[in-house]
Amino acid sequence: MVYNSFIIKIMSSNWSYKLKRTIILGLLFTAGISIFAQEETVEDLYLRVSAETRIIDSQASSPNRDLKNMAIDDLTAMNNEGRLNGNDPFVMKIIGNLGAEGTGIISTNNGRIINNFPMVRQKSAKLLGDINTQLAADTLLTLGEMETESMVLSEIIVSISKNTVADPKVVVDMVSRLMEVHGSTKDHNFAYAFLIAVENLNNNGVEITNNKIFELVSEMTLPESGYIQVVTDKALSVLRQIR
């Protein structure tokens, strides 16, 4: 598509980020209006989905990593300003798709994955953690099943633990399972994220009856666990809280 090739040329130029952003937003807005105006009026378009959301959707759908980053940053800003509707399927689909870049949604070139963008996925998971709706919880549960990158998994389990709408048992079981599956690598950051998730659940009044959680946390308190002291100290603190 002409627009995509032009956008990629802009992103690879030496212009300032602010100038690139201004030009691209204007281009995407014009493209969105010209395509949809053929089938419905501009007024109908605005009533169905806002122009701002359409622009963000165009950014998120681009193969360019910088545009995807721009999209999730814009969505995060919308949420911080109280303008993001966490029950809007269209908006939540954009966030979910960004969270699946390179895992659930794969683009290849000569057999090589070209859209493995863990930073985009991490930002998406973090944003979902700030949206306390069932759609956000369902999205995080789905992303957790397909993710393999430790830093993204860390964000996912902390984010899902903050959600007070989701079924607590489902959340506890997911947090336990992900730690059990991925904890063998002894990743300190992921282990710490797991402990924060358990702590969040406890602080939200969730009764933790999953024995595996107690087993995992207890093992992490031991000096021979293989974790650094910051992790073992945190594990001891969390264990005292959930007993």
Please state the separation of Cα 147 from the chain's center in Å: 11
Per the CB < 8 A criterion, the answer to whether 130 and 79 are in contact is yes
Q: Could you tell me if residue 107 is inside a domain?
A: no
Q: Could you tell me if residue 182 is inside a domain?
A: yes
Q: Could you tell me if residue 73 is inside a domain?
A: no
Q: What is the pLDDT of residues 92-118, one digit of tens each?
A: 999 999 999 999 999 999 999 999 999
The predicted pLDDT at position 19 comes to: 53
- Lowest mean pLDDT across 24-38, 45-59, 90-104: 24-38
Q: Could you tell me if residue 191 is inside a domain?
A: yes
Q: Could you tell me if residue 36 is inside a domain?
A: no
Q: Could you give phi then psi for residue 105, rounded to 5 degrees?
A: -115, 110
What is the domain count for the chain?
Answer: 1
pLDDT exceeds cutoff 50 at 3: no
Nearest CA to 154 among 123, 117, 132? 123
Q: What is the pLDDT of residues 212-232, one digit of tens each?
A: 999 999 999 999 999 999 999
Q: Could you tell me if residue 235 is inside a domain?
A: yes
pLDDT exceeds cutoff 90 at 35: no
Q: What is the pLDDT of residues 165-195, one digit of tens each?
A: 999 999 999 999 999 999 888 999 999 999 9
Q: Which one-letter DSSP state was computed for residue 103?
A: T
Q: What is the pLDDT of residues 128-172, one digit of tens each?
A: 999 999 999 999 999 999 999 999 999 999 999 999 999 999 999
Which range marks the domain in which residue 190 is found?
167-243
Per the CB < 8 A criterion, the answer to whether 230 and 241 are in contact is no
Q: Could you tell me if residue 209 is inside a domain?
A: yes
The predicted pLDDT at position 90 comes to: 93
The predicted pLDDT at position 1 comes to: 46
Q: Could you tell me if residue 220 is inside a domain?
A: yes
Q: How many CB atoms lie within 10 A of CB 103?
A: 20
